[in-house]
Chains A and B, each alone.
Chain A
Amino acid sequence: MGSTTTRDVLLSLTALLIFPGGLFLLLVGLAYEWIDRKLLARMQNRVGPRWFQPVADTIKLLAKEEVIPDSVDAGLFIGLPIVALAGVLTAAIYVPFPGLPSVFSFPGDLIVTIFLLSLLTLCLGLAGANTFDRFSLVGATRALTQLFAYEAPFLLALLGPAFVAGSWEINEIVGYTDGRWLFITQPFGFIVALIGLIGKLEIPPLDAPEAETEIVAGSLTEYSGRGLALFHLGKGVALVLGLTLISAFYLGGVATPLLFLVKTLALLLVIVGIHALFTRLRIDQTVGLWWRYGTLLVLVQWLGIILWQEVMI
């Protein structure tokens, strides 16, 4: 590896904190949130927010007083949003965002990335369980139930391309899928990955953990000010990273920033379309749907991949 110079350290720090991770990623997360809201509004024949709305929301939230309820563990209450955001930002260093090869990589970093992405949901669940508020407790229960339901098929769906690429390192997988449109050869895996992403990010129709009309805001009911801003940012970043992973694996790689933009935005359009078209599912329907159709589809897909490998080899 050789000796690390100050230049290397500075470059690493910049990559982590400013570009392409850190600040740049946060801003891109906010931009994608804006595109999400604007597209949804236009689909519903409304105007939608102006471009600076998510930025304004974040600034406003950061400037507000954080109200800490009496009955919570203050350390956990303040710490969990920070851990959640830190988790997703760390996941970014292994993901080919924004179309450039990832900053660091090592064999097996696919599993680490997915774990770091689900750290957000875990923190949400813990944050909800932290209080005595009934709404938060129900939201936390639902969030953790949904996490258990969606983690396994999502991981299996992402492992499909990993299997055919013969590696568990994201860089190598992306190198293999560059130019190969795997969503044609592994359609079920693609569908499972997409719906798994929707479930992971708690986007409607799979947003039972934060169903506004039933449990106010789920786990985030008690949060205000800085904690809410950090969770919010974390969700935006998770959206971007999830989209990057799926486009990189299934939509033929993200070799350049332009391709990254086009492919992730196309995927975002599909996700917003699904958001607009469908009713929210109850938590038992969400989990039931997944354990019935999702797992079945991904197992069929794997069967297909294994048989194909056997036939070819």
Chain B
Amino acid sequence: MKLGTMLGDIAISLFSRPSTERYPFERSETPERLRGLLIWHPEECIGCGLCAKDCPAGALDVIVLDKEAKRYQLRYYLDRCTFCAQCVYSCRQGCLEMSNERWELTALDRSTFEILYGNGLQNG
């Protein structure tokens, strides 16, 4: 039975830097596979809509502008998304990916949470 078994830890910590990351002044590098904002690459899209069907939160809508010319739009509701990446997996063409840089997605205005991706309309 010992008394004060954490003395070593305490003594070392007094003379070393705290392990707290002082966000937002210090930011550590994000890992490569981080699931951040959803990004849509419209070139390969065939409009199957599997991403929208499989989304557990109903955060995606595929809008058909012109089926033969393969012009689609994707409405992405950022505030419904749970960042599960099921849509990325479901899409057989590989059109969707989750960004690993854009993950600070808070906003004061709710309107920025509805993102419309489209051919020629590369916003978001």
Contact = CB atoms under 8 A, between A and B. Distances in A.
Any A–B CB pair closer than 8 Å: yes
Contacts of A41: 18
A47 B21 CA distance: 9
B106 interface: no
Band of interface residues on A: 10 to 19
Contacts of B123: none
A277 B18 contact: no
Given A42-B14, A43-B14, A277 B6 contact: yes
A276 B20 CA distance: 18
Contacts of B16: 45
Contact of A45 (B4, B7, B19, B22): B19
A45 B22 CA distance: 13
Contact of B13 (A43, A277, A278): A43
Nearest to B13: A45
B10 interface: yes
A7 interface: no
Contacts of A285: none
Nearest to B18: A47
A277 B14 CA distance: 13
Contacts of A47: 18, 20, 22
B6 A42 contact: no
A273 B10 contact: yes
Interface residues of B, number: 13
B20 A46 contact: yes
A44 interface: yes
B5 to A, nearest CB: 8
Interface string B81-93: 0000000000000
A277 B20 contact: no
B22 A277 contact: no
Nearest to B15: A42
A40 B39 CA distance: 45
A273 B3 CA distance: 13
Contacts of B3: 277-278
Nearest to A42: B14
B1 to A, nearest CB: 13
A42 B18 contact: yes
Contacts of A39: 14
B13 to A, nearest CB: 4
A283 to B, nearest CB: 20
A266 to B, nearest CB: 14
Interface in B1-46: 3-4, 6-7, 9-10, 13-14, 16, 18-20, 22
Interface string A25-58: 0000000000000010111111110000000000
B18 A45 contact: yes
Interface in B92-108: none
A43 B18 CA distance: 9
Interface of B: 3-4, 6-7, 9-10, 13-14, 16, 18-20, 22
Given A45-B16, A277-B3, A277-B7, 10 more contacts: A42-B18, A43-B10, A44-B10, A45-B13, A45-B18, A45-B19, A46-B18, A46-B20, A276-B10, A277-B4
* 4 interchain residue pairs of minimum CB distance: A45-B13, A277-B4, A43-B10, A47-B20
